[in-house]
Amino acid sequence: MSTANVTEPTSSTAETPINTADSSASTAKPIKQKVSKPSPQEEPDLLILHRATCPKLSDRAKGGLDYQVGYSPAATELYLRVVSNQSGGYFSKEWVPLTAIQTCLASVIQSDGSFTAPTLVPAFISKSQNNAGFLAAVLREEGLIAKAADKQHVLQLGVVSFSAWSEKWLKQGAAKSKTQQEVSAAITPGAEETELEADAAVSSEPDPTTTKKTSPRRKAK
């Protein structure tokens, strides 16, 4: 019986060229993109209504905190800020709107009323470590919050309501803003002086109805 000759395909021994461009790209370190930081809060144009000093939350902490209450005539809004720390510890001097504080405490008001100082962290743009604790100390001094008697580091709403406190300082802010406007108007030339100056300028101009008409010269004959 005749056998058919079967020819097996020979395997190719040619090497595949290595793409050096791809290999170098795969081993290259990724370029880190710079993440832009949020711009700092713009300094609002405020009237200072109140300056005071308060102790810190911890009884063992040394030194007090100097703080201010501010009023914005343009936005009709109240602000709080700590301006100096009489001992060590970093903090932000940024003005914190009262509305931002109330937003942080909104869930607290709807529940049992207890919270801790870090609840106030979202009210700040700056991330200084002591911001929330120092602000809580200011709110406690103003009677808006208080320390819980039975739990350490736990705070609760104070005897003074935010609405009553806000109403008090808004009235004082509006009164101070009005006084400043009146003082500014007294220093700046008023409308009466401007009208008198205008009348004087008009009276110095010649009146065309009273001006004599000069006859033209006769030509010499």
The pLDDT value given to residue 69: 98
Residue 39 reports pLDDT greater than 60: no
The pLDDT value given to residue 38: 36
* Higher local confidence (pLDDT), 149 or 18: 149
Q: What is the pLDDT of residues 126-155, one digit of tens each?
A: 989 999 999 999 999 999 999 998 888 899
The residues facing 156 across adjacent strands are 114, 146
Tell me the three state secondary structure of residue 183.
Answer: helix
In DSSP notation, 53-93 reads EEE-SSTT--SEEEEEEEEETTTTEEEEEEEEESSS-----
* Higher local confidence (pLDDT), 182 or 190: 182
pTM to 2 decimal places: 0.66
Block residue for tokens 């406690």: 140
Distance from C-alpha of 152 to C-alpha of 147, rounded to nearest angstrom: 8
- Is the Cβ–Cβ distance between 132 and 121 less than 8 Å? yes
